[in-house]
Amino acid sequence: MRIKNFIYVMLCLCVAFWISGCGKDNTITVVPTELPLPTKPVVTIVPTEAEQNPTIAPPENMEVTIYTLNPDSLEKEAVTVLVTVEDALTPELIVEQVVDAMEDEGFYIGINDILIDGNSVRIDFKSDAAPVLDVGASVEGSIIDILAQSILDNMPQYNKIYISIEGGPYHTGHIEFELDEVYLGR
């Protein structure tokens, strides 16, 4: 019985090989044909002199006077910075310029948000950075003064500056201001 099964399996395999094409010539012959290529008219674009030599104008700048803190004397100093005319002059931009200038002097100021309401601006400070943390009373007051004065001097449409810490009243032990108290006004 085993031999019969073996012969049967071998016979099936041979038939399967024969049917599947063993021994057939499987080569494919490719006959090259030439097809005409479509032709397009040739167009030459000659750039104008302005296109060949473009002049890139630098962005227009405007001078803005802000205040910073002298690290040696701890006195307020006026500094002129350049901002591009394309940037809208906003309280946020003024504060950003003051913070950058203060970082150049070695002071990190933690600004949480700048809120605008009509003709007033609220400077909301972070609770874990200057002027709220790690500075004395005079430096704390000077930092707030230079931010407030920089906004009021450059933006006549605003006449009141409020201060807060993370949305709440400004209470540090050195300076105390409620949310509705004006810090600096004109």
The 10s digit of each residue's pLDDT in 130-164 is 887 888 888 999 999 999 999 999 999 999 999 99
The verdict on residue 48 lying in a domain is: no
Q: Rounded to 5 degrees, what angle do the CA atoms 149, 60, 121 make?
A: 25
Bigger pLDDT: 65 vs 7: 65
Indicate whether 33 belongs to any domain: no
Cβ of 170: how many Cβ atoms within 10 Å? Answer: 23
171: in domain: yes
Calpha distance 177→186 (Å, rounded)? 18
Assess whether pLDDT exceeds 90 at residue 93. yes
Mean pLDDT of 156-173: 95
Residue 49 lies in a domain: no
The letter for the amino acid at 4 is: K
Q: Indicate the number of domains in the chain.
A: 1
pLDDT > 90? residue 170 = yes
Residue 178 resides in a domain: yes
Within 13 Å of residue 166, how many CA atoms lie on the same side as its CB?
Answer: 8
Higher pLDDT pick, 79 / 58: 79
Residue 45 is predicted with a pLDDT of 72
Instruction: Tell me how far apart the alpha carbons of residues 160 and 53 are, in angstroms, rounded to a whole number.
Output: 51
Whether residue 122 contacts residue 115, with contact meaning beta carbons closer than 8 Å, is answered with: yes
Segment (H or E) for 125: strand 120-125
pLDDT band, very low/low/confident/very high, at 34 (cuts 50, 70, 90):
low
Mean pLDDT of the chain: 84
Domain extent at residue 140: 61-185
Q: Which residues contact 169 (CB under 8 A, 6 or more apart)?
A: 176, 177, 178, 179
More confident residue, 54 or 94: 94
Q: Assess if residue 118 is contained within a domain.
A: yes
- Tell whether 50 is covered by a domain: no
Residue 28 is assigned to a structural domain of this protein: no
More confident residue, 129 or 11: 129
